[in-house]
Amino acid sequence: MQKKTILVVDDEPDIRQLLREILEDEGYLVHVAENAATARRERLEHKPDLIMLDIWMPDEDGISLLKDWLKENGLCPVIMMSGHATVETAVEATRLGAYDFLEKPLSMAKLLVTVERALETAQLRRENIGLRRRMDVPVEPIGKSLIMEKLRDQVKRLAQHDARVLLLGEPGSGKETLARYLHANSPRRDGPFVDVGVGTIASNHSAVEFFGRVDGDIIQHGLLEQAHGGTLFLDEVAHMEPETQVRLMSALESNSFSRVGGSELLHVDVRVIASTCKSLEEEVRAGRFRPELYYLLNVVALKVPSLHEHSEDIPDLLKFYVDYFVSREKLPFRTFPVAVQNFLRNYPWHGNIRELKNLVQRLLILGSGDEVALDEVKTAVGEPVVESHRGVIQQPDFYNLPLKEARERFEKAYLEYHLDRYAGSVARLSAAIGLERTHLYRKLNSLGIKFRDKR
């Protein structure tokens, strides 16, 4: 496990040396700084997990330094220290964002407990961010079919090695889920998992996105730094801009880069998993994808099956997503009878698992009754059924809602259905439904509809 790094900032040499010895004995990696200027430099160079910051220093006080650092995103926890501070100073430091305040002379027991709790809090915060990012993703690929059992076994074996992996498969087939499953079964599982839809990054912003930026004392950490010690997942790399390909290729070859606006060479330890629904070999032949980058990413290629290749897993997938939406979105619980399951097993699923997930959500939102009816499913997948088995026209339960809420439910179901039909392509969806793309992006965001392709 990688050692946690602590930066101690104090103008008193004895305090710096004492803290260094205590913390190193506890297994931490410690760097020290005697003033604010050195602290800024050390922080940029070592990216500490925790900072212990003295309030009174000769060149600049610790409160001012803390205020400057808090302007950045992702600041590590800061523990303030002082032997002359008033209660008001301690309150001000914690109000600004310091994790805690320690009074000198330092109590060794309190020091170690505070440091441990600060690091644990920071770790929990990172994990919670990761959990929010994973809200739409199953813990592991769902299904008991032979093809899925074999796939999980392959991924578990691959996870023990650091080789780059290229996931091949149709849109919506579960490539991101598989990438997360690989990460979760690897020695890097405690590190970050950073996923990025590379097709959404414009070439003029790609350097900052991947490598970060330095503007004076303000640092923006890029994707490679964010993924340090963990996994960087590059989703649909075939959509990557040519200029971005060149920059990324250089960084992956050397595992090092400099931030935009900075001169310091940074080294990162990152595992890269990439995915594509296109043939990268064809993209290389057509001159749209650099062959050098293709060979860097394609160390091990893994085919992710489309849903129609393991349709026997559909009952398990239906159950999983019903439970998911009932627990996460408090939607009403409904069952899928055997006749409905059989119909869905023979449905073509052009949008794969993503289409099935969205279908379940629509049926729970718009349907009524404890069981999902076959006619209801046929209508939802585009086979209109006007009358029920009793000859009575079925009315969705949102008919009883206020107009604004009913319209939002209909629009969400309507747009998700068509987004599935066009394999997640916002451009094709825009042309099909006759809504200008800028307005469509705004509508998708306002309704909370996830989309990747922004071409």
Q: Report pLDDT for 185.
A: 94
Q: Report pLDDT for 397.
A: 56
N- to C-terminal Cα distance for the chain?
41
Dihedral over alpha carbons 378, 384, 390, 393 (to 10 degrees): 120
Looking at the structure, tell me whether residues 272 and 153 fall in a common domain.
yes
Q: Is residue 141 part of a domain?
A: no
Q: Is residue 370 part of a domain?
A: yes
Looking at the structure, tell me whether residues 120 and 184 fall in a common domain.
no
Q: Is residue 139 part of a domain?
A: no
Q: The domain spanning residue 258 has which CATH number?
A: 3.40.50.300
Looking at the structure, tell me whether residues 31 and 68 fall in a common domain.
yes
Spell out a b/e string for 109-123, using b for 16 or more CB atoms within 10 Å of the CB, else e.
Answer: eebeebbeebbeebe
Q: Is residue 334 part of a domain?
A: yes
- Domain stops at, among 99, 131, 163: 131
Q: How far apart are CA 380 and CA 52, in angstroms?
A: 58
Q: Is residue 453 part of a domain?
A: no
Please report how many Cα atoms fall inside a 13 Å half-sphere around the Cα of residue 338, on the Cβ side. Answer: 0
Looking at the structure, tell me whether residues 319 and 429 fall in a common domain.
yes
Cis peptide before 105 (omega within 30 of 0): yes
Q: Report pLDDT for 283.
A: 92
Looking at the structure, tell me whether residues 293 and 316 fall in a common domain.
no
- Domain stops at, among 237, 272, 305: 305
> Taking the CB of residue 11, how many other CB atoms lie within 10 A of it?
15
Q: How far apart are CA 41 and CA 305, in angstroms?
A: 49
Q: Which residues of the chain register pLDDT less than 70?
A: 1-2, 72-74, 85-87, 124-138, 217, 383-401, 423, 451-455
Q: How far apart are CA 346 and CA 365, in angstroms?
A: 24
Q: Report pLDDT for 65.
A: 87
> Taking the CB of residue 363, how many other CB atoms lie within 10 A of it?
23
Looking at the structure, tell me whether residues 397 and 328 fall in a common domain.
yes
Looking at the structure, tell me whether residues 300 and 328 fall in a common domain.
no
Q: Is residue 454 part of a domain?
A: no
Q: Is residue 52 part of a domain?
A: yes
Q: How many domains are contained in the chain?
A: 3
Q: DSSP letter for 311, please.
A: G
Q: The domain spanning residue 118 has which CATH number?
A: 3.40.50.2300
Looking at the structure, tell me whether residues 60 and 197 fall in a common domain.
no
Work out whether strand 256-258 and strand 29-33 pair parallel, antiparallel, or are unpaired. unpaired
Q: The domain spanning residue 317 has which CATH number?
A: 1.10.8.60
Q: Which domain holds residue 295?
A: 146-305
Looking at the structure, tell me whether residues 319 and 290 fall in a common domain.
no
Q: Report pLDDT for 391.
A: 43
Looking at the structure, tell me whether residues 75 and 116 fall in a common domain.
yes
- Domain stops at, among 305, 329, 353: 305
Give the tens place of pLDDT for each residue, 288-341: 999 999 999 999 999 999 999 999 999 999 999 999 899 888 889 999 999 999
Q: How far apart are CA 209 and CA 224, in angstroms?
A: 9
Looking at the structure, tell me whether residues 337 and 433 fall in a common domain.
yes
Q: Report pLDDT for 385.
A: 45
Looking at the structure, tell me whether residues 152 and 297 fall in a common domain.
yes
Q: How far apart are CA 409 and CA 434, in angstroms?
A: 20
Spell out a b/e string for 203-235, using b for 16 or more CB atoms within 10 Å of the CB, else e.
Answer: eeebbbbbbbbbeeeebbbbbbbbbbebbbbbb
**Are residues 248 and 268 in contact, defined by beta-carbon separation less than 8 angstroms?**
no
Q: Is residue 455 part of a domain?
A: no
Q: How far apart are CA 28 and CA 51, in angstroms?
A: 12
